[in-house]
Amino acid sequence: MNTSSPPDCPFHAGAPSHPPALHPPGVWPPGPTTGLTGWRLLRSMSRDLLGTLATWQRAFGDVVHVRIWPEHQIVVTDPQLARELLVTHHDALIRWERGMRVFAQLHGHSVLIAEGDAWRGKRHALQPGFSPKAVQALVPTIASAAMQALSHWPMHAGNWPIENALTSLAMDVIVRTMFSSEIGADARIAEAAARTVMVAANAEFYWPASWPDAVPWKRAKRQALAALNGLVDRHLQARLKLPHDAWPDDLASRLLQLHRDDAAAWPLQAVHDECMTAFLAGHETAAATLAWWAWCMAANPAAQTAAREEVLQVLQDRAPTAETLPSLRYLTQTLHEALRLYPAAPMLNSRRSTRPITLGSWQLPARTQFLVPVQLMHHDPRWFPAPLAFRPERFGPGAPAFPRGAYLPFGAGPRVCLGQHLAMTETTAIAAMILQRFALSAPDGMAAPQPVFNVTLRPKQPLRLRLAPAPSAAPRAGR
């Protein structure tokens, strides 16, 4: 992956090396006209957040002030300043309180929600299970899950629901790595429940408070939460019924061991919360990325052919291993380019400053809210020429450098996505196994899927593609 940067951000090329002259405190960056409260801006954001922010970037630049009473929000789309915010000023930031209250309805007080010492303790406890070495040990589990799932895909299909199939597979992978068991018949229920709660969460972000979940019109959300909590609780209770010396080495066992060692610090509810976050975040990034990658392959047959040729040369008909995955360089480039075009998290969780900070030339007070729309930087022609074109060579050796911060599919700084290594390893292994078996193409008359942002980025309608045997794939018995 090409992430090298010139000494200066290209956008600032030729600028003097000394610090920029600072605007006086109390002076805000340019931004849209507010009106009395600015709530009309909020309505525009609720209808199309990324489109609205893109319009403001074109009108006002890479640092935009949005006044929505009682908040002052700063939208940052300059790569250098985005990294400065997330890395240099990380200790002056917390996540947006309203957003975290909405997420806490599902995630409890997991590492996703926690701040300060509580977050550091949880992150430290979880980090070993998501290290590159730990993830490499999971490759056989990922390959086994993919082999089982792909054996049930039809060799010929004109309109195959590939996004649903990939979501079920990603759920099975995370359940196997967390609980050493298969998701089985729960996959369809869990997929629908996860989609329901994410749509509900996205809607609630734009209100200062939420109606209680007990109100009649939230029945679907209540049922979805119950389904997801029940899935996690059943697996945890099944583990607790096993003799301790029969516990497998997986995430559930490591968390339950923390509970056994210090139940006050790690009550059973805390174990549940971490498992819920791992399940939702662990499958969603992989599923969304694989769905968009599948579309990119279908829409770009030359890139699909090149990726398949590499896969067949490296793997032949064997399953990928931790040793062979690094050799799939071009395939990895196609995944990075899919993540650039369609980042699973196109908007990072909003931050709030706990003290005054200086960002570039702006002196901003405590309690300023910051928005970092990753997708806008990924689609910026200054960093990525012809930004809407699928060009995996952007991430190849010798490709022109783009500034650090211009490509942030997993965020940056200490709160970078904990599961980034697992996500890239899982998607690379599954993508390789798909190309070994199938050729992907768009059904006749199909338009490009429309991306919709509901916490993560997914096609507006579940993606369906045509399947055919891969050109060099041998027929499978019974197919």
pLDDT value at position 195? 85
Cα separations in angstroms, 95 against 91, 114, 178, 300, 351: 11, 9, 26, 38, 4
Predicted local distance difference test score (pLDDT) of residue 18? 63
pLDDT, residue 478, reads: 37
374, 53 Cβ separation under 8 angstroms: no
For the ranges 45-54, 176-185, 362-371, 379-388, the lowest mean pLDDT is seen at: 176-185
Cα(195)–Cα(63) distance, integer angstroms: 32
pLDDT value of position 475: 47
Q: Where residue 10 falls among pLDDT bands split at 50, 70, 90?
A: very low
Domain boundary (411, 444, 461) is at 411
Same domain, 397 and 338: no
Distance between CA atoms of 455 and 202, rounded to whole angstroms? 6
Torsional sign, CA 346, 350, 353, 358: positive
Which pairing describes strands 71-76 and 369-371: parallel, antiparallel, or unpaired? Answer: parallel
Domain end marker among 384, 411, 438 = 411
* Pairing status of strand 351-353 against strand 157-160: unpaired
Angle between helices 162-179 and 139-150 (to 10 degrees): 140
Our count of domains for the chain comes to: 2
pLDDT(429) > 90:
yes
Please, which residues have CB within 8 angstroms of residue 240's CB and are 6 or more apart in sequence? 256
Distance in angstroms (rounded) separating the CA atoms of residues 76 and 91: 18
Taking the CA atoms of 388, 394, 400 and 406 in sequence, report the sign of the dihedral they define. Answer: positive
Cis peptide before 373 (omega within 30 of 0): no
Task: State both tokens at 253.
Answer: 């066992």
Could you tell me if 86 and 197 lie in one domain?
Answer: no
Q: Give the pLDDT score at 98.
A: 85
Q: Are residues 330 and 394 in contact, defined by beta-carbon separation less than 8 angstroms?
A: no
Burial class (CB in 10 A: 0-12, 13-18, 19+), 363: middle
Radius of gyration of the chain (CA): 23
Residues 6+ apart with CB under 8 A from 375: 50, 343, 346, 347, 457
- For residue 22, is it within any domain? no
Which of the four pLDDT bands, split at 50, 70 and 90, describes residue 17?
A: low
Shared domain for 340 and 214, answered yes or no, is: yes
Together in a domain, 277 and 218: yes
- Residue 361 shares a structural domain with residue 402: yes
Note whether residue 298 is domain-resident. Answer: yes
Average pLDDT over residues 224-245: 92
pLDDT confidence of residue 52: 94
Is residue 55 in some structural domain? yes
Q: What is the pLDDT of residues 269-327, one digit of tens each?
A: 999 999 999 998 889 999 999 999 999 999 999 999 999 999 999 999 999 999 999 99
- Mean pLDDT (whole number) for 40-47: 86
Q: Say if 54 falls within a structural domain.
A: yes
Res. 16 pLDDT band, cuts 50 70 90: very low
Q: Assess if residue 112 is contained within a domain.
A: no
Nearest C-alpha neighbor of 233 from the set 174, 182, 273, 183? 273
Do 297 and 350 lie in one domain? The reply is: no
Strands 465-469 and 157-160 come out as antiparallel
Q: Are residues 393 and 477 in the same domain?
A: no
DSSP 332-346: HHHHHHHHHHS-SSS
Whether residue 135 lies inside any domain: the answer is yes
Judgement on whether residues 445 and 353 belong to the same structural domain of the protein:
no
- State whether 369 and 336 are in the same domain: no
Q: What is the three-class DSSP state of 309?
A: helix
Task: Collect all residues with Cβ–Cβ distance below 8 Å to 248 and sequence separation of at least 6.
Answer: 180
Q: What share of the chain is helix, strand, coil (3-state, %, to 5)?
A: 50, 10, 40
Burial label for 313, CB within 10 Å (0-12, 13-18, 19+), is exposed
Pick the closest to residue 171 from 197, 191, 199 (CA basis).
191
How far apart, in Å, do the first and last CA atoms of the chain sit? 38
Question: What distance in Å separates the CA atoms of residue 32 and residue 56, rounded to the nearest whole number?
Answer: 7
Asked if the structure places residue 114 within a domain, the reply is no
Q: What is the DSSP string of 218-273?
A: GHHHHHHHHHHHHHHHHHHHHHHTS-GGG--SSHHHHHHHHHHH-TTTS-HHHHHH
Q: Is residue 115 part of a domain?
A: no
Q: Is the pLDDT of residue 410 over 50?
A: yes
* Residue 384 sits in the same domain as residue 328: no
Using the predicted structure, report yes or no on whether residue 6 has a pLDDT greater than 60. no
Q: What angle do CA 319, 459, 437 make, to 5 degrees?
A: 20
Helix, strand, or coil (residue 362): strand
> In this predicted model, what pLDDT tens digit does every residue of 354-372 receive, in sequence order?
999 999 999 999 999 999 9
Using pLDDT thresholds of 50, 70 and 90, give the confidence band for residue 473.
Answer: low
Nearest to 187 by CA among 283, 271, 285: 283
Q: Tokens in use for 185?
A: 């018949």
Structural domain harbouring 277: 121-345+417-479
Amino acid at 223: Q
Distance of CA 327 to the CA centre of its chain: 24
Q: Average pLDDT for residues 40-53, to the nearest whole number?
A: 89
The mean pLDDT of the chain is: 90
Residue 300 has a pLDDT of 97
CATH assignment of the domain containing 136: 1.10.630.10
CB 430 within 8 A of CB 149: no
Question: What gap in Å lies between CA 268 and CA 258, rounded to an integer?
Answer: 10
pTM of the model: 0.90
What does the angle CA 361 – CA 362 – CA 366 come to, to the nearest 5 degrees? 145
Last residue in a domain, options 391, 411, 431: 411
Query: What's the rounded mean pLDDT across residues 136-143?
Result: 95
**Are both 404 and 446 inside the same structural domain?**
no
Mean pLDDT across 465-474: 84
Task: Examine the pLDDT at 390 and tell me if it is beyond 90.
Answer: yes
Residues 440 and 477 in one domain: yes
